[in-house]
Structure 1
Amino acid sequence: MTYTRTLVVLSHHRPDSRTAHVADLVAERLRAAEHEIDVLDLRAEGFDPRMTVEDEPDWNNRDKAYSMQVQRHMERVLAADLLVVVFPIYWQSTPALLKGWIDRVWNYGFAYGRSAPRLAGKRILWLGLAGATAEDPIVAPMVDLLEAQLSEGIAYYCGFAKSAVAVLPDAEDQPQSVDDRGNLIVGEAPTGEELATQRHTFDRRVLTAVDEFAT
């Protein structure tokens, strides 16, 4: 199946971050594959992740009218066939900005709470950037934890047809690891051609994950 409408969600506080670069890369790739792209940069659009009384679920009214900002986000989610969510992994989880977006927008009566889910049939790819190296033993349990949280605990619960998590280690130029005493070990960043090759390899892994899931 070819998806024509894709929502790329970016969750990062800096427009010059590696995460923002990945979101741009994803949008370019899918646009080239003739997807209609909508990029939702949560920070740039001023999204507040904190729950409000206006957006608090009303368990007695699944048709509650939420805030105008949340309703606009709901419309963009509904319009998409495919969602690609790009975020840095914090403490083996999502940033507060992304979690708050899910809390407020993927709300009762919209994303869940109906016998016929409104998000049924959609697909979602979660692209998480990790500072750990690919050889770090923390990566495998990180994938399992995020799959359980995002694919099983959220996407499946909301009726998505398919959800997958792609953890992208080596997201930092400097290799990072933790020894058995909890000490952070930061290696030297490569320079010149070696650095360019490292970044190119990372970008290629991003595109491979997107191609395998979405095109």
Structure 2
Amino acid sequence: MTTTRTLVVVSHHRPDSRTAHVAELVAERLRAAEHEIDVLDLRSEGFDPRMTLEDEPDWTDRDKAYSVQVQQHMERILAADLLVVVFPIYWQSTPALLKGWIDRVWNYGFAYGRSDPRLAGKRVLWVGLAGATAEDPIVAPMADLLEAQLSEGIAYYCGFAKSAVAVLPDAEDQPQSVDELGNLVVGEAPAGEELASQHRAFDRRVLAAVDEFAA
């Protein structure tokens, strides 16, 4: 039996965030399923999302040698069969940290720009945590937008065999909604066993999304 090599990428500025917890949960789940796991925490590894001259694509040279840091990240992607990217959803998109990682690492000559894509055959699951409640009408169009951005605009363009976005609403303890006047309404967070039950239910949804994709 061939071992699946999985790169779990986490993008959040706080190590104690729900995003970091979800990434750890995903890694544990796939490790239990005998995946070989590499966890890439962009914050703790000090990744700079800002584009540099060293990593700017050269359209005349698809074999350009990029910075040492970027090349190390490229090698970790190449070593993986499956990527699971975990991030909070900001403005119906990714955080700047994750977007900058894609800009600098998924670069010309590596992720795209070849008739025989180097990332062909790989799979990627994008796990986005949303503060909106499941009943919020924004959730469905948010999922459609992220699917278009990440699966169609990036993964397909880079030759991935399969890409999907799992949008997980209710990622905040306090329910959030927008009223008819456009005001953000933040409700009271539950406490005690009710809060613990809410967390367990959220974790189950995470694992269900991962299990379905990785099967």
TM-score by length of 2: 0.99
- Does the 8 Å CA contact 1:3/1:214 hold for their aligned counterparts? no
Residue of structure 2 in register with 1:26 after alignment: 26
1:99 & 1:193 partners in 2: Cα distance? 37
Deviation at 1:182, TM superposition (A): 1.1
User: 1:173 matched to which residue of 2?
Assistant: 173
Q: Which amino acid aligns with 2:119?
A: L
* Contact kept? 1:125, 1:166, Cα under 8 Å: yes
Secondary structure of the residue aligned to 1:6 is strand
- 1:47 to 2:25 alignment: no
In percent, how many aligned pairs have the same letter? 89
- Tell me, in whole angstroms, the C-alpha distance in 1 between the residues paired with 2:213 and 2:94: 21
Alpha-carbon distance in structure 2 between the residues aligned to 1:150 and 1:2: 28
1:80 corresponds in structure 2 to 80
Partner SS state of residue 104, structure 2: helix
Q: Distance in 2 between matches of 1:27 and 1:61?
A: 36
Letter in 2 for 1:35: H
For 1:209, give the aligned amino acid. Answer: A
**Structure 1: which 5+ residue stretches go unaligned?**
none
Q: Which amino acid aligns with 2:127?
A: L
Structure 2 gap ranges (5+) = none
Asked whether the equivalents of residues 125 and 164 of structure 1 are also in contact (C-alpha less than 8 Å), the reply is yes
Kindly tell me: are residues 167 and 52 of structure 1, through their superposed partners in 2, closer, same or farther at Cα, counting changes over 3 Å?
A: same
Counterpart AA for 1:53 = L
Moved over 6 A (4+): none
State the partner residue of 2:199: 199
Q: Deviations over 1:77-130 (max 9, x none)?
A: 000000000000000000000000000000000000000000000000000000
Displacement, 1:151? 0.1
- C-alpha distance in 2 between matches for 1:2 and 1:141: 38
Normalising by the residue count of structure 1, what TM-score does the alignment of the two structures yield?
Answer: 0.99
Distance (Å, rounded) in 2 between the aligned partners of 1:19 and 1:213: 19
